[in-house]
């Protein structure tokens, strides 16, 4: 089989970025990320996502999680607001809100209801982890046309979404990311070594990052970064490309200082400010 296309490599330093903050801006000017996840025993995933969203500039971050996770969340990320789920989401359909759904969400009944409610809102959405696993079961019909959506599968999740095995996805990653974007009418980010991004027309490749990032929770950090960039009104395609590169650059900076072996998800959050500074 031939390779369907060769993606263009991203020159991350020349990607369009966030505008400078107006001197009189306030937290309401920089968007509100709503993280939906954190089922019982998996609160850490939503905490990493929320923490990363703040580090990536979101004005406010709220987390909808299982009651078991709320006390932990308050200790891990005191800046975040928390609410119980499942609860009704209708009040979140307002300008400035971006939903990040999936980290640590689980696939139980509550999670299914939550996903249905979230994708019905008109605000931008980042779907990750168990949101993608549930979407794979429901199929593209779950995503009615409308809001901007970013999908962030790792190869295993991509395989479920495409009805393939992981090996086939990895055998032609550019084709997989393009097909995902078309089938689900979303910007798709296929993670792993040399992450690919597609909107169904273009395919771009991020050359940054390292295998030290193969460690639990690093994907949750990416989800938070992407949601924060969208919440700050960056164009969706630019948010996807810049978010992937900042995350990977933070991973390279962290690996330089700490080594690939010791690198863990929280280190990406710690090095994100330096990644932002290098970029500017």
Q: Give the CA dihedral 268, 9, 1, 210, nearest 10 degrees.
A: -20
Number of alpha helices (DSSP H) and beta strands (DSSP E) in the chain: 10, 10
Binding-residue total with ligand APR (CB under 6 A): 18
Instruction: Indicate which of Mg ion, ligand APR, none lies near residue 37 (CB less than 5 to 8 Å, by partner kind).
Output: none
Shortest reach from residue 211's CB to ligand APR, in Å? 4
Out of 209, 224, 236, 243, the residue judged to bind ligand APR by CB under 6 A: 209
Instruction: Indicate which of ligand APR, Mg ion, none lies near residue 59 (CB less than 5 to 8 Å, by partner kind).
Output: none
Q: In whole angstroms, what is the distance from residue 115 CA to residue 36 CA? A: 9
Beta strand ranges found along the chain (DSSP E): 8-9, 32-36, 60-65, 81-84, 97-101, 125-127, 149-151, 187-190, 196-198, 203-205
Interacting span for Mg ion (CB under 5 A) from 51-59, 112-120, 216-224, 246-254: 216-224
β-sheet bridge partners, residue 33: 61, 98
State which residue, 34 or 45, has the beta carbon closest to ligand APR.
Answer: 45
Instruction: Indicate which of Mg ion, ligand APR, none lies near residue 133 (CB less than 5 to 8 Å, by partner kind).
Output: none
H/E run at residue 111:
helix 109-120
Among positions 180-209, residues that touch Mg ion (CB under 5 A) are none
For the beta sheet containing 203-205, the strands, ordered from the edge strand earlier in sequence to the opposite edge, are 8-9, 203-205, 196-198, 187-190, 149-151, 125-127, 97-101, 32-36, 60-65, 81-84
**217 makes contact with ligand APR (CB under 6 A):** yes
Query: How far is CA 92 from each of CA 38, 176, 187, 209, rounded to the nearest angstrom?
Result: 18, 32, 22, 34
Instruction: Indicate which of Mg ion, ligand APR, none lies near residue 195 (CB less than 5 to 8 Å, by partner kind).
Output: ligand APR
Give the three-state DSSP class for 103: coil
**220 makes contact with ligand APR (CB under 6 A):** yes
Give the three-state DSSP class for 62: strand
Shortest reach from residue 157's CB to Mg ion, in Å? 7
Shortest reach from residue 123's CB to ligand APR, in Å? 22
State which residue, 10 or 60, has the beta carbon closest to ligand APR.
Answer: 10
Out of 7, 59, 147, 219, the residue judged to bind ligand APR by CB under 6 A: 219
Out of 50, 100, 129, 228, the residue judged to bind ligand APR by CB under 6 A: 129
Q: In whole angstroms, what is the distance from residue 69 CA to residue 270 CA? A: 23
Shortest reach from residue 151's CB to Mg ion, in Å? 12
Among positions 137-156, residues that touch ligand APR (CB under 6 A) are 154
Q: Which residues bind Mg ion (CB under 5 A)?
A: 129, 219
Q: Which residues bind ligand APR (CB under 6 A)?
A: 129, 154, 157, 191-193, 195, 209-211, 213-214, 216-220, 222
């Amino acid at each position: 089989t031939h390779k369907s296309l060769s993606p263009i490599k991203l020159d991350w330093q020349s990607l369009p970025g966030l505008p400078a903050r107006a001197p009189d801006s306030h937290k309401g000017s920089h968007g509100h990320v709503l993280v939906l996840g954190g089922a019982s025993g998996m609160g850490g995933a939503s905490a990493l996502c929320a923490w990363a969203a703040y580090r990536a500039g979101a004005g406010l971050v709220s987390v909808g999680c299982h009651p078991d996770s709320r006390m932990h969340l308050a200790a891990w990320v005191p800046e975040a607001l928390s609410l119980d789920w499942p609860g009704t989401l209708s009040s979140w359909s307002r300008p400035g809100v971006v939903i990040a759904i999936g980290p640590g969400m689980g696939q139980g009944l509550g999670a299914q209801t939550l996903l249905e409610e979230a994708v019905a809102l008109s605000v931008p959405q980042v779907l990750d982890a168990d949101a993608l696993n549930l979407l794979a079961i429901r199929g593209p019909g779950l995503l009615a046309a409308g809001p901007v959506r970013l999908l962030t599968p790792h190869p295993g999740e991509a395989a479920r979404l495409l009805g393939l095995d992981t090996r086939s996805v990895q055998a032609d990653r550019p084709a997989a990311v393009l097909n995902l974007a078309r089938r689900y009418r979303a910007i798709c980010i296929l993670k792993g070594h040399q992450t690919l991004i597609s909107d169904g027309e273009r395919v771009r490749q991020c050359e940054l990052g390292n295998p030290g990032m193969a460690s639990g929770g690093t994907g949750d950090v990416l989800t938070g970064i992407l949601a924060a960039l969208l919440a700050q009104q960056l164009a969706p395609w630019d948010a996807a490309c810049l978010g992937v590169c900042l995350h990977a650059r933070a991973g390279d900076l962290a690996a330089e200082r700490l080594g690939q072996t010791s690198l863990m998800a929280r280190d990406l959050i710690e090095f994100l400010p330096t990644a932002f500074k290098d970029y500017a």
